[in-house]
Amino acid sequence: MPSLVVGARGIVGAHIVRRLVKLGECPLALSRTPQEAADVRWIVGDLVRPDDLQLPPVSTIYCTAPVGLLADAIGHMAGSSLRRVVAFTSTSLVTKVDSEIESERDSVRSWAEDERRLIDACRRLGIHWTILRPTIIYDEGQDQNVTRIARLVERFGFFPLAGNGKGLRQPVHAEDLASGAVDAAASEAAIDKIYAVPGGEVVSYREMVGRIFDGLNRSRLILPIPLLLWKAALKLGAPFVPNTNVAMGSRMAKDMVFDGAPAARDFGWRPRGFKPRFRMPL
């Protein structure tokens, strides 16, 4: 039976599709609009309207879309052949639970509830599941995390660091996550478990930014700014830096480190170190 990739046009989902094709499979990929690609069978559908889904039998579902959508739809997708679901959430469920931004706290509570609902739905349907929680996901030129910093560096030539930036990070590449998802789906040891899937190297926030400069072939110009001043400047500059908030500055000093040993033990998790390389223009 083939696999189904939900969120196949995203940075992780696209790598999952390529990984499955490389392994000799012709996977199914769900999209709201028609797509064409060699060695991939695209299915037009939307998890928001699960009654309209018309899926052939599949053995495994990989989901990089919001897990709440899959939790609501999986009852319409679970034929007798479906044996495994591998879904992605985030370590933000832990790191943002005490955020100073109320909307972030609300979001992670909702996300945690959606994760629980998916697990409960799988249990009711007799489907084995694995939940993967990545740290900072990047894919040079494609993501909204590391690449966003790179674009700011390209635009302004420097990066304003809130405080000392000593908080520890583990950026993880989208391609490694795809390989990890496929390996987890094949592992009996990973059945019905939740895993943190951090990157292969622990670096400070300041060093993470420094390596982004390196990946752009630019000299490092990182300007430490007192946190209160950083927050005040962000309020003034918010129109020029979309998708930012004041909590980001506070988190630059906070360690966000997770143990990848259980994933390494159960499905061979071995991600790369953090050495991004960017093609121009971004």
Confidence band, pLDDT 50/70/90 cuts, at residue 277: very high
Q: How many Å apart are CA 168 and CA 254, to the nearest integer? A: 7
Task: Please report the pLDDT score of residue 234 as a whole number.
Answer: 75
Q: What is the largest CA-CA distance in the chain?
A: 58
Pairing mode, strands 41-44 and 193-197: unpaired
pLDDT tens, residue by residue, 162-187: 999 999 999 999 999 999 999 999 99
Q: How many Å apart are CA 135 and CA 171, to the nearest integer? A: 6
- Preceding omega of 281 cis (within 30 degrees of 0): yes
Task: Please report the pLDDT score of residue 73 as a whole number.
Answer: 94
Other Cβ atoms less than 10 A from the Cβ of 182: the count is 22
Cβ contact 119:129 at 8 Å: yes
Tell me, which fold does domain 1-134 have in CATH?
Rossmann fold (3.40.50)
Average pLDDT of the chain? 93
Structure tokens at 51: 């009654």
